[in-house]
Amino acid sequence: DQQVKQNSPSLSVQEGRISILNCDYTNSMFDYFLWYKKYPAEGPTFLISISSIKDKNEDGRFTVFLNKSAKHLSLHIVPSQPGDSAVYFCAASDVGNQFYFGTGTSLTVIP
Amino acid sequence: DTAVSQTPKYLVTQMGNDKSIKCEQNLGHDTMYWYKQDSKKFLKIMFSYNNKELIINETVPNRFSPKSPDKAHLNLHINSLELGDSAVYFCASGRYEQYFGPGTRLTVT
């Protein structure tokens, strides 16, 4: 029973363009959402998060949008850079602080 | 200065053996976790420890047991290893934003 889903396993974007990674969830009790970035042979690295009381959080080139009614969040990276090429995981937690991860989207930024 | 470290990085062993993976964090976090990433890249939480007490225990076989000698360490012991245990195991720490170790690739032959 996968409560957090990333339906696009891969995404390719030209350098300088916007990358949009999507994530859907099913549990309305989730109150905190996160994005992680993962390079091969390394552990995931925290990127950005958003609380359920907000609909947008921005950190430099990274912006996370949350649409609670649609149970959807997205990560925007603009402008995309070759170093952004990695696997991106979204995650959600409930009030019990249990975390659920999506299966990841592999982003390739083409120079 | 590594924040979350785990050893070994690679572990190859035969079915039926007992093995341990060690994890240490120097971030001063109260909560530590073990995750399993299977062949489908699905990252699933196995255990978490908060102040040396188990607070989440997913439906993992009881062959897996976490051991926390102190707040900075959370080791994973696996008894009677099976082929299906082959995966990458990640240790993490932190209450909200989690910091992950580099992973341990376990291969059971």
pLDDT (tens digit per residue) in B19-44: 999 999 999 999 999 999 987 778 88
Q: Per residue in A2-20, pLDDT tens? A: 899 999 999 999 999 999 9
Interchain contact, B42 vs A101, CB within 8 Å:
yes
The full set of domain ranges for chain B reads 4-108
Return d(Cα B106, Cα A85) in angstroms, integer: 26
pLDDT value, residue B1 = 64
Mean pLDDT on B2-29: 95
Task: Determine how many CB atoms are found less than 10 A away from the CB of residue B51.
Answer: 9
- Mutant choice from B50, B98, B104, B105 vs A, greatest count of A C-beta within 10 A: B98
Per the structure, the complete domain to which residue A98 belongs is given by 4-110
Tokens of A32: 């905190």
Chain A residues lying within 8 Å of B95, measured CB to CB = 97
The CA-CA-CA angle for residues A11, A2, A100, to 5°, reads 85
Which residues of chain A, if any, have pLDDT below 50? Answer: none
At A110 the three-state DSSP class reads: strand
CATH number for position A36: 2.60.40.10
Percent of chain B with pLDDT over 70: 97
The more confident residue out of B42 and B46 is B46
pLDDT value, residue A26 = 95
pLDDT value, residue B48 = 87
Return d(Cα A74, Cα A77) in angstroms, integer: 10
User: Poorest-confidence range of A18-22, A98-102, B88-92, B103-107?
Assistant: A98-102
Which residue from B74, B90, B108 is spatially nearest to B37, judged by alpha carbons?
B90
**Å between B96 CA and nearest CA of chain A:** 8
Closest residue in B to A43 (Cα–Cα): B102
For A:16-75, CB contacts with B below 8 A are: 32, 34, 36, 41-46, 49
**Å between B108 CA and nearest CA of chain A:** 19
Return d(Cα B45, Cα B37) in angstroms, integer: 9
Q: Are B81 and B15 in contact (CB under 8 A)?
A: yes
For B:45-104, CB contacts with A below 8 A are: 45, 48, 55-56, 90, 92, 94-103
Number of domains in chain A: 1
A90 reaches B (C-beta below 8 A): no
Q: Which CATH number fits domain B4-108: 2.60.40.10, 1.20.1250.20, 3.90.1570.10, 3.40.1390.30?
A: 2.60.40.10
pLDDT value, residue B65 = 92
Task: Determine how many CB atoms are found less than 10 A away from the CB of residue B106.
Answer: 21
Mean residue pLDDT of chain B comes to: 91
